[in-house]
Amino acid sequence: MSEHMQLSLALCRIGLYTCFRALCCKGPPPPRPEYDVVCVGLTGAGKTSLLSHLCSEGSDHIVPTTGFSIKAVPFPNAILNVKELGGADNIKKYWSRYYQGSQGVVFVLDSASSDEDLEAARNELHSALQHPQLCTLPFLILANHQDKPAARTPNQIKKYFELEPLARGKRWILEGSSTDNMEAVKESFGQFISLLEDKDTEPARI
Amino acid sequence: MKVQQGCNSSDMGIPVRTEEELRRNTVITPEDVLGLQKITKDYLCSPEENVHMIDFTRFKIRDMETGTVLFEITKPPTPAGGKKNCDPNAGRFVRYQFTPAFLLLRQVGATVEFTVGNTPINNFRMIERHYFRDQLLKSFDFEFGFCMPSSKNTCEHIYEFPALSEEIMREMILHPYETQSDSFYFVDNKLVMHNKADYSYSGGP
């Protein structure tokens, strides 16, 4: 009996809701534009953690990605369909299989890693910047783990990675990041989205 | 990777196909299932045809407007030397129970997690068709693309709910499990898996 009432109430609610929408001329909100981006970086850089935080998901269960992880990351004015790829050696060799169709690249690196790992990250970033399927796309480079004492500053990273000469003529943004400050991360992505939106304008540099 | 969302096969210029016709083929292609006009009576392939050892391990739905997780299910690990399940279709059918409020959602993010056997897959594609009483509500077409060998992959795609009339919504709520879906999975354009689901929106069992 109560189930019947529940159903009737639910139907009434739906009826009222659709009336409300019709009366107030409230159509569905305009859909946000979507962009397909690929997210790469060495294992441990923090790709999965950053993306999980952006989606307001907890980070206790995070383990190294052993394949791809496609996630729809919502922002106020866009949705990024991010294809995140694991960074372990046995997975890195498949990265280029996922480049086709990308409209932008997010590259995450551990600012506090060893010199050796930083050099490996630099090599990977340079490869990506020069890859035929990525070389004309906007890049968001996140110098992650800024909260760690051993972290190099974004300026140091920019210098070491030779971004000024190497990425000249390309559209890229380099920002420090840390999961401790997700507001700043969201702002960095906001700037990246502007690059994705303005495909024809002047390259922006930070 | 945008999800292609269409409705009627005729709108997309695809010839109408029947289940009986498809069963006569040795291979079933994406174009074949895009021509289906209603839910299939039975599975179009056997579990043995999943030669790539694709296994779905987790499924989650969240409301894109609020981020609220609406539903989540993880496949329990098979116990070592486990009993063989008496129902061969148990792993490929799910029954969903939602409240009527679910039909008011506009954008839902559905996350699927799956593992792949030790050979790479060149082109993995999913076509999912939702029907209410043999009326096609929505068709989703998603290309996962390349899958690395021995990988565990997750994919979330956004479902835009079709605009449903109040009348249809009412009928869907009053008639649980008459909303059904077929999920077809293809490797290199050949059907390898077929999952089914049905849905209740009445808020009860």
pLDDT tens, residue by residue, A28-83: 567 789 999 999 999 999 999 999 999 887 777 888 999 999 998 989 999 999 99
Which of B99, B155, B160 is the best substitution to test chain A (most A C-beta atoms within 10 A)? Answer: B155
Average pLDDT over residues A19-27: 55
Q: Is the dihedral of CA A35, A38, A41, A46 positive or negative?
A: positive
Task: Please state which of the ranges A19-23, A135-139, B71-75 shows the lowest mean pLDDT.
Answer: A19-23
Average pLDDT over residues A187-202: 84
Give the strand order in the sheet containing B121-132: B4-6, B135-147, B121-132, B179-187, B190-200, B93-97
* Confidence band of A152 (pLDDT split at 50, 70, 90): very high
Whole-number pLDDT of residue A165: 79
Q: Do B145 and A7 touch (CB under 8 A)?
A: no
d(CA A59, CA A52): 7
Nearest to A70 among B103, B156, B170 (CB): B156
Whole-number pLDDT of residue B1: 38
Amino acid letter, residue B50: N
The H or E element containing residue A48 is: helix A47-54
- A60 vs A86: which has the higher pLDDT: A86
Average pLDDT over residues A104-108: 98
Per the structure block, which two tokens stand in for A204? 């922006």
Give the strand order in the sheet containing A104-110: A172-176, A139-144, A104-110, A34-40, A78-85, A68-75, B152-160, B107-115, B55-63, B69-74
Average pLDDT over residues A114-129: 96
Average pLDDT over residues A158-176: 88
- A189 vs B163: which has the higher pLDDT: A189
Assess whether pLDDT exceeds 60 at residue A10.
Answer: yes
For residue B132, list its beta bridge partners.
Answer: B135, B179
Compute the residue count for chain A.
Answer: 206
Min Cα distance A126 → chain B (Å) is 24
DSSP SS3 for B84: coil
The H or E element containing residue B140 is: strand B135-147
Min Cα distance A75 → chain B (Å) is 11
Whole-number pLDDT of residue B5: 59
Place of tokens 């890693």: A113
CB contact at 8 A, B138 and B130: yes
Low-confidence ranges of chain B (pLDDT < 70): 1-12, 77-86, 88, 204-205
Known binding residue A58? Answer is no
Residues of chain B with C-beta less than 8 angstroms from the C-beta of A69: 153-155
d(CA B7, CA B140): 9
Q: Do B146 and A97 touch (CB under 8 A)?
A: yes
Tell me the ipTM for this assembly: 0.81
Residues above pLDDT 70, as percent of chain A: 82
Residues above pLDDT 90, as percent of chain A: 70
Nearest to B151 among A14, A67, A74 (CB): A67
Cα separations (Å) of A163 from A157, B126, B199?
9, 40, 53
Min Cα distance B45 → chain A (Å) is 27
Whole-number pLDDT of residue A143: 97
